Amino acid sequence: MQSLAMSFLNVTQEAAISVFPYIGKGDKILADHKATEAMRGTLHSLNAHSRVVIGEGEMDNAPMLYIGEELGASEDPTVDIAVDPIDGTTLVSKGQGNAIAVLAAAERGCLLHAPDMYMDKIAVGPKAKGRIDVSASIEANVTAVSEALGKSISQLNVLVQDRERHQSLIQAIQRMGASVTLFSDVDITGIVATAVEGKDVDMLVGTGGAPEGVIAAVAMRSLGGDFQGRLRPADKEQYNRCRDMGIADPDRYLTLDDIVSTDQCFFAATGITDGPLLKGVKSINEEMLQSHTFLAVDRQYHVVESVHVKSQLSGNAL
């Protein structure tokens, strides 16, 4: 799986560097289109066969890699993939930080086919694996993580997305004495940070996109962390869409095994703009671009720094 993961490294790199000319230019749809086409073309060129089980863009009608799309120059090996050519399209259009190009892959049939809707999420690193419960109260989870990490509650740092829907959650955490760090967009990087030493993040909780939840779950499985979720269909139409995509009970609580049911998986993300996990794409000179990619596989991770030919925007590392 590690060898296969390395062959997919260019996929997120191509998507990220293709967006570089459009950072801060105010057109998120065009940027997303460029990233999608770059990712699609690279997937088509690989000596592996990929089936898209989670694409992007359903909610806002953006360009997307379509669910069920088959890609690759070979019939073997075969993997299912969950992709987001740009997680943080608005961030890119405004020139703001923490936008990434991201992909997760696993053996065929092992990823939850989550539709584009909300999901309740909770994530922790390896030291607190097995101690969280998305069906339990935030107070119970904060206490359990505190015990697992050997920290007092006042020492805990919990990431929560800065949204009105999270106000009661934020207040409950702070009443217990834990610290809350708010972020604006892209919860994938926050979830991954819980499993990376030195990031000072003990837990992430909140409600965000379900497709991103599946991608993050692959990252946590690859890093030895833990992730749980629960889909939040907003209406009967969304509920039925879950059923149509093979989720028999859309209301049930989902463990990490429910979301990604194999250790044969990997996660890759390339920074587009600077964030807490990765540096964004940078211009070295008139001819060269530099990218930073986070690759998680087999309970370890690598941060890969690559140099690319700027004029070609091809992602061919020198």
Where along the chain do its domains lie?
Answer: 2-108+265-309, 118-259
Q: According to the model, what pLDDT value does residue 60 have?
A: 47
Q: According to the model, what pLDDT value does residue 57 have?
A: 45
Contact 254, 231 (CB under 8 A): yes
Q: Per-residue pLDDT tens for 39-75?
A: 999 999 999 999 999 985 444 445 678 888 999 999 8
Q: According to the model, what pLDDT value does residue 310 have?
A: 72
Architecture in CATH for domain 118-259: 3-Layer(aba) Sandwich (3.40)
Residues in the chain: 318
For residue 60, what is the DSSP state? Answer: T
Q: According to the model, what pLDDT value does residue 64 have?
A: 75
For residue 47, what is the DSSP state? Answer: S
* Contacts by residues 61-66 (CB-CB < 8 Å, ≥ 24 positions apart): 62/28, 62/29, 62/32, 62/33, 62/89, 63/29, 63/32, 63/33, 63/36, 63/37, 64/36, 65/36, 65/39, 65/40
232 token code pair: 């939040």
Cβ count within 10 A of residue 65 = 23
Q: Which CATH class is domain 2-108+265-309?
A: alpha beta
Residues 6+ apart with CB under 8 A from 171: none
Chain-centroid distance of CA 260 in Å reads: 13
| C-alpha dihedral, 86 to 84 to 230 to 152, nearest 10° | -60
Identity at 167, one-letter amino acid code: Q
Q: According to the model, what pLDDT value does residue 67 have?
A: 86
Contact 131, 112 (CB under 8 A): no
Tell me the C-alpha distance between 289 and 20, whole Å.
9
**What 3-state class would DSSP assign to 228?**
strand
Q: According to the model, what pLDDT value does residue 286 have?
A: 86
Q: Which residues of the chain have pLDDT under 50?
A: 57-61, 314-318
Q: According to the model, what pLDDT value does residue 313 have?
A: 53
86 token code pair: 């740009």
Q: According to the model, what pLDDT value does residue 311 have?
A: 63
Q: According to the model, what pLDDT value does residue 303 have?
A: 96
